[in-house]
Amino acid sequence: EYDIRLEGVTKRFDDVTAVEDVDLTVESGTFLTLLGPSGCGKTTLLRCIDGFETPTEGEVYIKDDLVTRTPPFERDTSMVFQSYALFPHMTVGENVAFGLQMKGIPGEESDDRGGMGGSLKRLIRRENSSVVDERVADMLELVELPDTQDRAIDELSGGQQQRIALARALVTEPTVLLLDEPLGALDLKLRKNMQVELKNLQEDLGITFVYVTHDQEEALTMSDEIAVMNDGEIEQLGTATEIYEEPATEFVAEFIGETNLIRGRYRETDDGAVVEREGREYVVPKTAEARGDVAFAVRPEKVRLGAEADGLDNRFEATIVDEIYKGNLGKFVVELDDGQELTVDMQIRDQGDYHQVGEAVPVGWSALNSVVLTE
Ligand code: ADP
Ligand code: MG
């Protein structure tokens, strides 16, 4: 059962293609993150789901409804912005209630889903005000700011304002909550706390979140699924582990975490595959789509130094050329005799794990810990 389905969604602004031919299905109750660098089309894709933008091509479904050309207030979605977009001249309670005015009160609009005009009129009718008050109070409790209805927006901290924006978006009980870099304006400590709270809230509510960020660590922490975007396209869709351990493309391998990329020619052997570079063969996993010139990726923490490299199917003599930090974690740059440099991260457990620049030390990794990238 899905909440969102995008079929071939493309959005062009004059000569800029912001989103290109995106297919995406989001199962109900998923925390999905759109992750990618600034300008890759995250906000535009989110706006196509919400209805603030109409795709140039392709279709958008929410549940089983085709909504490609349905205006935002008639969709079962709600949006939280980085800028909060609260009204400073209205109280907290009025701001949260405005969420209902935007979309109409679910369960009360059966006569027509007539959008803002009709909803506003209904809201103004006295008999509805208690329903609204109750709903607003519930939402303020949900975001852990109970009894703040009468407070002024500018009395609240940035973190509290973001909670109010969240309450305003959730007050309509949307099927899908869309969040566009909602924690971007908060300082690091508060952002970390809010990441955990948002994830817990999503699990408690059981609704679908589509969360936009350019911060890979945030994406890895919060998401059930991550769609890595580049240049208007989804390069890979997967769990945090899949994206990290099995990046599909060079872009994904380099954007998520740190990685070593080695380029060469892919060749299958009797019992597996190798990548040849400068007369040296690196053992790699056999990969169906790989042929010719490829790159393969090895994470720095998968490379072993010294005695730990013994017996691994990739083991080479190397020289330490840099040590970046020490403490309980060591980061070293080593150079193989063909000039290939590798970054190595390791736990420093005892004195013997320290290495000096200029020291000769074997390096190694298991082929299973490398990934051949075909794009
Ligand atoms: P992101 O949210 O990932 O930073 P955006 O979706 O905001 O990316 O933008 C994707 C591309 O589309 C960018 O090149 C941006 O300049 C362009 N773009 C976005 N909105 C508009 C618009 N309304 N008019 C023209 N170009 C736009
Ligand atoms: Mg954006």
pLDDT at 105 over 70: no
Looking at the chain, the whole-number percentage of residues with pLDDT higher than 90 is: 79
Q: What is the ipTM of this complex?
A: 0.99
Q: Name the residue with higher pLDDT: 219 or 337.
A: 219
What span, in angstroms and rounded, lies between the C-alpha atoms of 28 and 159?
A: 28
Contact at 8 Å (CB) between 260 and 333? no
Comparing 2-6, 104-108, 114-118, 303-307, the range with the smallest average pLDDT is 114-118
Closest atom, ligand 1, to C-alpha of 14: 25
- Looking at ligand 1, which residue's alpha carbon is closest to its atom 25? 13
Taking the centre of ligand 2 as the mean of its atom positions, its distance from the CA of residue 82, in whole angstroms, is 9
Ligand nearest to the CA of 227: 1
- Measured from CB, residues less than 6 Å from any atom of ligand 1 are 13, 16, 18, 36, 38-44
- Looking at ligand 1, which residue's alpha carbon is closest to its atom 13? 39
- Looking at ligand 1, which residue's alpha carbon is closest to its atom 5? 41
Pick from 179, 169, 166: which is nearest to 45 by CA?
Answer: 179
Mean of per-residue pLDDT scores for the chain: 91
- Looking at ligand 1, which residue's alpha carbon is closest to its atom 12? 18
pLDDT at 123 over 80: no
- Per-residue burial over 74-97, b if 16 or more Cβ lie within 10 Å, else e, is ebbbbbbbbebebeeeebbbbbbb
Segment 154-171 mean pLDDT: 93
Ligand nearest to the CA of 231: 1
Q: What pLDDT does 132 receive?
A: 87
pTM for the full predicted model: 0.89
Pick from 161, 132, 130, 169: which is nearest to 145 by CA?
Answer: 161
Q: What pLDDT does 186 receive?
A: 87
Segment 31-44 mean pLDDT: 98
pLDDT classification of 111: cutoffs 50, 70, 90:
very low
Taking the centre of ligand 2 as the mean of its atom positions, its distance from the CA of residue 283, in whole angstroms, is 40
What span, in angstroms and rounded, lies between the C-alpha atoms of 247 and 183?
A: 26
Segment 85-89 mean pLDDT: 90
What span, in angstroms and rounded, lies between the C-alpha atoms of 118 and 123?
A: 9
For 49-78, how does the pLDDT look when each residue is reduced to its tens digit (9 = 90+)? 999 999 999 999 999 999 999 999 899 999
For 268-285, how does the pLDDT look when each residue is reduced to its tens digit (9 = 90+)? 999 999 999 988 999 999
- Amino acid 275 reads V
Neighbours of 71 (CB within 10 A): 13
From first CA to last CA, the distance across the chain in angstroms is 32
- What are 266's strand-pairing partners? 275, 292
Pick from 242, 252, 243, 199: which is nearest to 221 by CA?
Answer: 199
- Looking at ligand 1, which residue's alpha carbon is closest to its atom 7? 43
Taking the centre of ligand 2 as the mean of its atom positions, its distance from the CA of residue 204, in whole angstroms, is 27
Q: Would you list the DSSP string of 347-371?
A: E--SGGG---TT-EEEEEE-GGGEE
Q: What pLDDT does 225 receive?
A: 98
Q: Is 108 exposed, middle or buried (0-12, 13-18, 19+ CB in 10 A)?
A: middle
Taking the centre of ligand 1 as the mean of its atom positions, its distance from the CA of residue 56, in whole angstroms, is 14
- Amino acid 293 reads D
Residue 43 structure tokens:
């906000």
Q: What is the DSSP letter of 304?
A: E
Taking the centre of ligand 2 as the mean of its atom positions, its distance from the CA of residue 36, in whole angstroms, is 10
- For the chain, strand residue ranges (E) read 2-13, 16-27, 31-35, 57-62, 65-66, 77-81, 176-180, 208-213, 225-230, 233-238, 260-269, 272-277, 280-284, 292-298, 304-305, 314-325, 329-336, 341-347, 360-365, 370-373
pLDDT at 96 over 90: yes
Residue 369 structure tokens:
């810990």
